[in-house]
Amino acid sequence: MTPDPTLAALRAAAARTLDPQRSVQAALNAMGFVQADPIRAPARAQDLTLMARVPAYRAGDLERLYPTLDAEEDMLPNYGFMPRSVQALLHPREVPPTRLEAAH
């Protein structure tokens, strides 16, 4: 059975995830994943998430900045945006077998 987290541990986790970031890229890097949702009521999930973390963020900034960001769209398991370093963990490149592995 997992012990209940302490109030201090919960506050520390909230501070890590809600810590203001300098830019959209910095927020993506800090969070590792931002879930995307096309429903706009009251706003899209990615905009609500980033508005709480990036000063002066405006709805649609993620999509507007996307071509310049070091980010990809993928599933984790929900659809969203993530730094390329995170996506690389989801889709490791194929490594050719060694000579020994190929022989067996």
pLDDT in tens, 47-86: 999 999 999 999 999 999 999 999 999 998 889 999 999 9
Upper half-sphere CA count for residue 75 (Cβ side, 13 Å)? 2
- The answer to whether residue 104 is domain-embedded is no
- The answer to whether residue 1 is domain-embedded is no
Number of domains in the chain: 1
Range of the domain at 89: 17-93
Determine the residue type at 98: T
- The answer to whether residue 21 is domain-embedded is yes
Does the pLDDT value for residue 40 go beyond 80? no
pLDDT at position 2 is 67
- The answer to whether residue 83 is domain-embedded is yes
CB 23 within 8 A of CB 70: no
Alpha carbon 59 to chain centroid, angstroms:
17
CB 60 within 8 A of CB 6: no
- The answer to whether residue 79 is domain-embedded is yes
How many angstroms separate the most distant Cα atoms in the chain? 59
- The answer to whether residue 2 is domain-embedded is no
Determine the residue type at 26: A
Upper half-sphere CA count for residue 33 (Cβ side, 13 Å)? 14
- The answer to whether residue 11 is domain-embedded is no
Distance, CA of 101 to CA of 82 (rounded, Å): 34
Determine the residue type at 73: E
pLDDT at position 1 is 62
- The answer to whether residue 26 is domain-embedded is yes
